[in-house]
Amino acid sequence: MSTGHHDAGDLLRELAPQVLGALVRRYGVFDACEDAVQEALLAATVQWRETGPPASPRGWLVAVASRKLIDQIRSETARRRREDALALATPQSALLAPAADAVSATDHDDSLALLFLCCHPALSAPSRIALTLRAVGGLTTAQIAAAFLVPEATMAQRISRAKQTVRTAGTLPAPPEGPEYAARLAEVRHVLYLIFNEGYTATGGTELMAPELATEAIRLTRLLRRLVPGDTETAGLLALMLLTDARRPARTDPHGELVPLAEQDRGRWDRRLIAEGVELLGATLPRGQVGPYQLQAAIAAVHDEAEHPDATDWPQILALYDLLERCGPNPVVALNRVVAVAMVHGPAAGLELLAEAADDKRLAGHHRLHAVRGHLLEMLGEREAAARAYREAARRATAVPERRHLTRRADHLGAAWHPSPAPTGAGGGPV
């Protein structure tokens, strides 16, 4: 595939949310606009491969998508009233098909409004993720389905239902104002965080990671930061992703098996991403109003800046987890803090704290609870008990690479194990 083709594809993915946002703002029918934009992107893929992008790629896409939308609605005779309403709302100049590369004097980027729309409160978390990847990320339904290990028809239904829900709930031509703005922005960040988590550690399947999802989450978070440059938590989220994804090359061995953080070859970590993440975090933390994503990024930075596992500043990590528990408590944070306590105060102290964390119903059945217990028991030298904990963790793990890794830990401690079917469940965070 030529470099030009790669460039055109990158350009189309960058422009897709801007074009869809412009159409939704103008016409207000999200589902029809999204279909029209997909057709325009397909037309551009074919035409630009031969001729190259026009002088105004965004204007070209907006014009072509607008024409396709109008043609689509005109052809639906059963929706005559909707056609009339759209025609009345459409400027006459648009109906007369302006030049494809024309640039509007009032042109602006509606990507932020589109992100808010895809993360509408009326949608479930899976639907928000799917719609964001489709409408803002520009991924095809087949690509999204493959990343989440579901049939394409299933993902198509999920996206279709999400678009119907957005249409029923009412589309927003602009980001909300006041307190709702901050809440919706937090929802957008959370969706991007979930996409990254699934890419960094897949919750199911035979592969440890889905790199295309992690890469897409980083790209979309870069977009969000450009749209809200003053938001420190968005900057913190991007820093967290960069500092975590930097370890990706060392997370598996040549056979694709999981390599834990303490055993990774740190020479394989992406130092460019680490430097970018540290610089971003350094510019963000002094501005105050530190939130959970910034604290998680700071923890990741401490790990990444240690040249060797023994050089890790665990007291600093524990202090950061103490802050994180106060401003963003969740079960994964609690488990990670248990490990930090064990590294600072010893495994017995960690096990005592783990017993308290196990009372959280959200951790019931989670494989990581048992994996942490096995790790702490192994640190204490209680090999048999540790092996039992690793076996239980492996039984509950939903991802094959994690299950294999936990099984090997148990076998290493001298215990045979016959696996049983693993129940369904969810994974945790990337750090």
Convert the pLDDT of each residue in 73-99 to its tens digit.
777 655 555 555 655 555 544 444 444
Instruction: Say which residue, 126 or 139, is predicted with more confidence.
Output: 126
Taking the C-alpha atoms of residue 219 and residue 217, their distance in angstroms, rounded to an integer, is 5
Taking the C-alpha atoms of residue 331 and residue 329, their distance in angstroms, rounded to an integer, is 7
SS3 call for 203: coil
Residue 364 has pLDDT above 70, yes or no: yes
Residue 420 has pLDDT above 50, yes or no: no
**β-bridge mates for residue 252, sequence order:** 258
**pLDDT score, position 89:** 58
Q: CA torsion, points 356, 358, 361, 367, in degrees to nearest 10?
A: 160
Query: What mean pLDDT value characterizes the chain?
Result: 86
**pLDDT score, position 199:** 92
Instruction: Say which residue, 15 or 74, is predicted with more confidence.
Output: 15
Contacts of 386 (CB under 8 A, 6+ apart): 374, 375, 377, 378, 409, 413
Question: What is the band of 50 on the pLDDT scale with cuts at 50, 70, 90?
Answer: confident
Residue 341 has pLDDT above 80, yes or no: yes
**pLDDT score, position 251:** 96
Question: What is the band of 416 on the pLDDT scale with cuts at 50, 70, 90?
Answer: very low
- The arithmetic mean of pLDDT across residues 311-324, rounded, is 97
Task: For residue 208, give the DSSP letter.
Answer: S
**β-bridge mates for residue 258, sequence order:** 252
Query: What single string gives the DSSP state of each residue in 306-358?
Result: -SSGGG--HHHHHHHHHHHHHHS--HHHHHHHHHHHHHHH-HHHHHHHHHHHT
Of 170-179, 228-237, 322-331, the one with minimum mean pLDDT is 170-179
151-174 burial, b if ≥16 CB within 10 A, otherwise e?
eeeebbebbeebbebbeeeebbee
Share of the chain above pLDDT 90, in %: 60
Q: What distance lies between CA 50 and its chain's CA centroid?
A: 34
Convert the pLDDT of each residue in 101-136 to its tens digit.
444 444 456 888 889 989 988 899 999 999 999 999
**pLDDT score, position 106:** 41
- The arithmetic mean of pLDDT across residues 151-159, rounded, is 94
Convert the pLDDT of each residue in 17-45 to its tens digit.
999 998 988 888 888 899 999 999 999 99
- The arithmetic mean of pLDDT across residues 217-224, rounded, is 95
- The arithmetic mean of pLDDT across residues 364-375, rounded, is 92
Which structural domains are found in the chain, ordered by start? Answer: 3-95 (no CATH), 317-431 (1.25.40.10)
Of 195-199, 306-310, 426-430, the one with minimum mean pLDDT is 426-430
Share of the chain above pLDDT 70, in %: 85
**Confidence (pTM):** 0.82
Distances (CA, A) of 322 to 88, 123, 295, 299: 58, 33, 10, 11
SS3 call for 231: coil
Convert the pLDDT of each residue in 223-268 to its tens digit.
999 999 999 999 999 999 999 999 999 999 998 899 999 999 999 9
Residue 121 class from Cβ within 10 Å (0-12 exposed, 13-18 middle, 19+ buried)? exposed
Q: How far apart are the first and last CA of the chain?
A: 35
Convert the pLDDT of each residue in 186-200 to its tens digit.
999 999 999 999 999
Of 163, 165, 173, the closest CA to residue 31 belongs to 163
**pLDDT score, position 285:** 85
**pLDDT score, position 157:** 94
Of 222, 155, 152, 195, the closest CA to residue 10 belongs to 222
Residue 313 has pLDDT above 60, yes or no: yes
Give me Rg for the CA atoms of the chain.
24
- The arithmetic mean of pLDDT across residues 283-287, rounded, is 86
